Structure 1
């Protein structure tokens, strides 16, 4: 039977389906697995970043590892408390973007959004390359294929996320539990050791302690603090994705945020205590976490479990971006700063356009870097500190406007956090500027400019459509329906019947060419048409060139010019094959006609699909 559809128009797959229940949303536990892998995995490189900076002051400098870590843990507590309030104040998600949009203005909110977008994209690339780097360290023969391995891992993570955020949480919860459990075992066992039980991992590797040690000054400690703050990336992800949680969303998201802060804080402090307890020194080619596992548990199967769990979690920590960025893109699209397609949901509550966009940009970054972590690391974490700072400042204004119970203490807490994260952002940018951070300094305003360009385009569209104003009453115009035909068939009859129900006048048109065989086919069609006599005139459209769409578009323009008050509709009859492969048997003439008419005229285009099954 024929099915009439109009162009342009949305298909059912493009429309946001009604909420089918809460089963496709997150609990507090699955929220940790889906949105906190980035933060969890940061313990693999956060303490090491502190140690490598303090190594410039020699063994004496390493003694400040624990104090610096405690300062970072304090900032973590401030951030968790702040984002817990952000979750309550902005349950639609968006994190620092939502805070800034409400309290700091559109431009500042776009800076926050751009910083989050950059950080999310870089997190995917860094996480995947770091995980693959751990794999190639264990199996050096795979080193030359690291780019392809990175792309394979990215494809797998993307495929899981296209099935829904709950599915990704279920898939990643086991490696998360194994990693966190292993690190806790490492810490607890290490606290009962009087010294390292093994140094086999570090033996034979050169120390990176500076030969000419510098003094431990405020600048060195500040740089160590800023480098260690890379462990805080991902703390904001839960606040960005509150709509992904089950009801009651705010309470579940807050529980997940507090649990993340507690687990991450304990791991960071515990590992730093062991670094000081074992007098660990950084060496080339061996991670600090590997040395701690060796010193605490020995060079045995437990050591390899931790290494393998670290490798898996580093690669999968890219999932944090897939859980948070699509929600942020949805909010930007809702506010007309991105194409509205990013606000659409597929089934399973998936913002698939956001997921695919993140995957494509991340793949481009992987190709650009050749799968090398060191190329991407200098770009990483700057954006998240900008977002942290904006969120803190915005929450200070939030408390000042609200002036609820205890608002001064809350504002003071957020203000203190804003100062710390702002200083960290400046220090990280300055210290990594020549290593590639300048790219972020350029990319951030460019991304903000892109958001504003999209917004201006939507404003013009809204003005053109008269959005927000009461339109004039609808009225009926005289209408002419034009039906392209090339032969007589049941499809032709169905098309003319549908056209008669759409308009006041129906005209069939056929394009004729000067070739002898085409002339013969035209004469045959005209004889058959006269014999059939459907009560609809057949108009010949002569064309010297082998063009199908342009003559029909030109005829539509003629009709419109001759009858300016008449609405013209072009109804294109097409067959719908039973099997997908049978589409290859069709000539695609309907698509050619539709493209030409849509490009050159304002006529309404209808596609009449006749099912062959």
Structure 2
């Protein structure tokens, strides 16, 4: 992909390769692999069996004489077109091709369509994006909802030094507003520099290296998981503040909310966005109403502050306590990076719409945060265990009428749905990490609704476990919250400083200074949160981040080994068409069967077909017939528990005609799988260049309950032989009539 030029003329290198499409699950061959593929093709010699479509026993285009696509067993009553031809030589599966064959499977498919909607075509990824008015509530729900617990977290720490320490809330709020504006401005620059995805992982990896990038990813992953847990716990707290009788059901209610969020996001980005639009705007209206009513009451008394209720000091007022309060209030900024991570989810022009949305978000955050802190100061309110500060303000502003209930309902909804920001960004982060080999490749896969189903399920499971472990207590979760998110903030902004220094375009110094300020302030909050809240639970994140980095590196090492094993290698010393191209040697390449697994050309492959035969019946005779039809050397193996049974089986074999070489193995300890697997391994050890194909007859029953009546020896043998290199295990099904 060619980088695009920004308004200042610099080319965006960071944008390369960050576009999210379903095809990312199938990366193309590397530039060095395509020439190797051509050389392998030149050496390919077709075996005697004809492979041209004209001589195949079936028509691969599935065309019938009347020109319609041939129906499958689903079209017994009326022809159903499972495939259509859009271009010559290419079939396109229709929706009917995804319908399961069993009655139970079809029922599940119908239920899935009801819950999550019909499947979407891959081309719909261009339209499953959000416009600004939808993206604002979806991506700002986490950021804006944090004002419902961020100010309370800061004041709760200050209150430990007595009610007199609450006067520090105003200067601390001023510092936090400075931090909000600096980080918000920095992320605006990041979005412009990386118009196809500006997450902390991408920025840090691109400019600081793999280690800082993985550290940012680990911090973000912790942040997203805790975002779900904290948002849900705060939402449940808002509900129990209005209805204390539900306090005992806090944990089940929280898990139910996480499940609903998962189901909503499995329906796709656009549908999930439309679901969460109204609650966010309702919360904005509710908070603005509280602020207007509260300031109207304060104006009636000349804006004279109401003294807070006297509270005895539990700790001495010192620098450490002030820093703890500052870092606790900084959780009001969580979610500010959501827009930069979700740039590909915007409609075109993505980066411009993302920057506009981010500006709106930060502006609303500053106004609401300052408005609430000042109003709490004027009202003389303090945090109490049984009721949130926002609930106290709502009761004070609207002592009668239905308004208090509406405000609490909107607050609970926004807090519960704030977790949706994490459901948008966590799967996308895993996508980028999987693309680079740092996460399992299954996270590259898009589901039938173009959502990253595996990433969504992983987030829901992790958040649910943490929510249960902390019993949905918000104040216990917040100390874990700031470390991960500000680690990502710091590395992202530090990476942008390096980015501007490398590019040195017009105005690069001013941009580097802005990102540098954001990095320094974020770093201060990170250090403060890590030290001040270490014993309160931040140690969990401090330990978890390095462990996650080690896990990411181990995953990448595995994929590197896999790539070296499977990648097409160049011919050594420019060998000509007569030389086979083999993979590079790997650790363990001297194991038996490695030579057979290195065969890439038909003329290199040497076969031995092995058929395990327990008794001579229709299933085993069909397996023997199938093996003999391949035209390759064939060996039958029988495991007998004693000599007498071995002799009887040989007599039966002679009566059949002894058409295939038979080898009997007496197993006096009556085991079957172990001796057979070791025998096949010994065969391979004697001839590592021979590819063993084991044909196992398998009885297939029509009813599931009948499976309990069979020993399933075939599946056990398949599992035992899976670890053997150079061995192909194929099951030959034999279907029962009833």
Q: Please tell me the TM-score bracket, short chain as reference.
A: 0.7 to 0.9
Which residue of 1 is the match for residue 713 of structure 2?
Answer: 589
Write the deviation string for residues 204-254 of structure 1: whole angstroms up to 9, x where unpaired.
xx9474569988x98776554332211000111222233334444333433
Write the deviation string for residues 167-192 of structure 1: whole angstroms up to 9, x where unpaired.
33233223222222211222234344
Compute the displacement of 1:300 (Å). 3.0
Between 402-411 and 56-65, the greater mean CA deviation after superposition? 56-65
Asked whether 1:82 is paired with 2:186, we answer yes
Compute the displacement of 1:100 (Å). 0.9
Compute the displacement of 1:132 (Å). 2.5
Asked whether 1:482 is paired with 2:610, we answer yes
CA distance in 1 between counterparts of 2:135 and 2:627 reads 54
Which residue of 1 is the match for residue 173 of structure 2?
Answer: 69
Cα 1:208/1:534, change in 2 over 3 Å: farther
Compute the displacement of 1:480 (Å). 1.7
Compute the displacement of 1:104 (Å). 0.8
How do 1:174-573 residues align onto structure 2 when only pairs under 5 Å count? Answer: 174-194=278-298, 207=309, 209-210=311-312, 223-465=324-566, 471-472=581-582, 474=601, 475-486=603-614, 495-496=623-624, 498-500=626-628, 504-514=632-642, 519=645, 527=652, 535-537=659-661, 539-573=663-697
| Contact 1:24–1:348 (8 Å) recurs in 2 | no
State the secondary structure of the residue aligned to 1:345: coil
Compute the displacement of 1:41 (Å). 1.1
CA distance in 2 between counterparts of 1:374 and 1:561 reads 62
| Contact 2:238–2:391 (8 Å) recurs in 1 | no
Cα 1:468/1:344, change in 2 over 3 Å: farther
Higher relative contact order (CA 8 A, sep 6+): 1
| Contact 1:39–1:232 (8 Å) recurs in 2 | yes
Gaps of 5+ in 1: 3-11, 198-202
Compute the displacement of 1:493 (Å). 6.4
Which residue of 2 is the match for residue 9 of structure 1?
Answer: none
State the secondary structure of the residue aligned to 1:349: coil
Which residue of 2 is the match for residue 106 of structure 1?
Answer: 210
Write the deviation string for residues 104-142 of structure 1: whole angstroms up to 9, x where unpaired.
111111111111112222222222222223333444444
Compute the displacement of 1:582 (Å). 6.4
Which residue of 1 is the match for residue 229 of structure 2?
Answer: 125
Report the TM-score when normalising by structure 1.
0.84
Compute the displacement of 1:588 (Å). 2.8
Cα 1:482/1:432, change in 2 over 3 Å: same
CA distance in 1 between counterparts of 2:569 and 2:330 reads 46
Q: How many residues are paired up?
A: 589
Between 80-89 and 529-538, the greater mean CA deviation after superposition? 529-538
Cα 1:213/1:18, change in 2 over 3 Å: closer
State the secondary structure of the residue aligned to 2:126: coil
State the secondary structure of the residue aligned to 1:186: helix
Compute the displacement of 1:98 (Å). 0.8
Compute the displacement of 1:510 (Å). 4.1
Cα 1:82/1:208, change in 2 over 3 Å: farther
The structure that is helix-richer by fraction is 1
| Contact 1:542–1:551 (8 Å) recurs in 2 | no
| Contact 1:487–1:525 (8 Å) recurs in 2 | no
Report the TM-score when normalising by structure 2.
0.71
Cα 1:353/1:478, change in 2 over 3 Å: same
Which residue of 2 is the match for residue 8 of structure 1?
Answer: none
Compute the displacement of 1:391 (Å). 1.0
| Contact 1:17–1:346 (8 Å) recurs in 2 | no
Cα 1:525/1:352, change in 2 over 3 Å: farther
CA distance in 2 between counterparts of 1:258 and 1:290 reads 28
CA distance in 2 between counterparts of 1:83 and 1:373 reads 28
State the secondary structure of the residue aligned to 1:572: strand
State the secondary structure of the residue aligned to 2:611: strand
State the secondary structure of the residue aligned to 1:571: strand
State the secondary structure of the residue aligned to 1:606: strand
| Contact 2:242–2:408 (8 Å) recurs in 1 | no
| Contact 1:209–1:281 (8 Å) recurs in 2 | no
CA distance in 1 between counterparts of 2:668 and 2:354 reads 67
Which residue of 1 is the match for residue 90 of structure 2?
Answer: none
State the secondary structure of the residue aligned to 2:608: strand
Asked whether 1:95 is paired with 2:196, we answer no
